[in-house]
Amino acid sequence: MKTLLLPSALVDSSWLAEHLHHPDLVVLDASWHMPAAKRSGEQEWRQQRIPGARFFDFDSKIKDNDSSLPHMLPSEAQFSQQVSELGLSNHHHIVIYDSSGMFAAPRAWWMLRAMGHEKVAVLDGGLPAWIQQGYALESGEPAVVSPGHFVAHRQADWIADATQVQTALSQSDTRVLDARSRERFSGQAADPRPGVRPGHMPGAHCLPFGELLEQGHFLPSELLAQKLALHLAPEQGLICSCGSGVTAAILALAANLTGHKQVAVYDGSWTEWGGNPDLPVVTDN
């Protein structure tokens, strides 16, 4: 069998269908929805999924259980153990999708990159695109998988904390981009989480993640580059933020796809920043 090679950090349904049964490929379903949606990604995965897909639960399992913030990155040891239990090993090529098209899968992509795994891509258009093209699905109780051997190596340059963000906001060599809606960024809309202030970090730029997408697919690369170029110079580093570190990863993936090398996600994002009265917040009111 031919050696597997991911074409980029983004693959389409036809590529995945062609390589689905390669022994070095693992498919992960990372579906997640905002709490107000009252939908369960895991339930959806059990009801219908790409054949062989395993559920990557970054919201209630593969997360830092000692943090009060939602779905923060766990330790290397915890990540290694839980990913190994999913049957993953360091030699695997991983393709991640979600049931929304393009929403939560980039978060799982970023987590794997932040833990040192480079052979990982996101399915453009997600499960809706797979279904639209008529490819097979499976449902019900998944097959038991043999444990893998995955050793995580945390990559500090992929991860930003509040202190690093605060420093970056005052420096011209790094841009902080916020993926939230313009209404939440400006402070015109209240934050959905109790106790979190409206507004944004002084000096941050707003690029709502939906402006990089069309019907669950990324815009063509040249259009992505144009959107990012309005905020980000080629030589600048990038820190991506959002509400809780999920859609920030959409910006990070877009930057990666368009050739930006210094890309990090602020893991605590606005839930941490807006909830901490010691950190500065501004509004456009």
Where in the sequence numbering do the catalytic residues fall?
242
Cα 25 to Cα 44: distance, rounded to the nearest angstrom: 22
Angle at Cα 71 formed by Cα 66 and Cα 76, nearest 5°? 65
Q: Between 105-114 and 248-257, two packed helices, what is the crossing angle to 10 degrees?
A: 70
Torsion of CA 102, 107, 112, 115, to 10 degrees: 160
* Residues 76 and 64: beta-carbon distance below 8 Å: no
Cα 164 to Cα 177: distance, rounded to the nearest angstrom: 14
Evaluated on CA atoms 80, 85, 90, 92, the torsion sign reads: negative
* Residues 281 and 186: beta-carbon distance below 8 Å: no
- Report how far apart, in Å, the C-alpha atoms of 215 and of each of 25, 103, 137, 204, 219 are: 26, 11, 21, 27, 9
Angle at Cα 256 formed by Cα 19 and Cα 252, nearest 5°? 110
- Kindly give, in sequence order, each residue whose CB lies less than 8 Å from that of residue 122, ignoring residues fewer than 6 positions away: 9, 10, 11, 95, 96, 97, 102, 105, 106, 109, 253
C-alpha closest to that of 160 among 119, 114, 205, 207: 114
11 token code pair: 């693959």
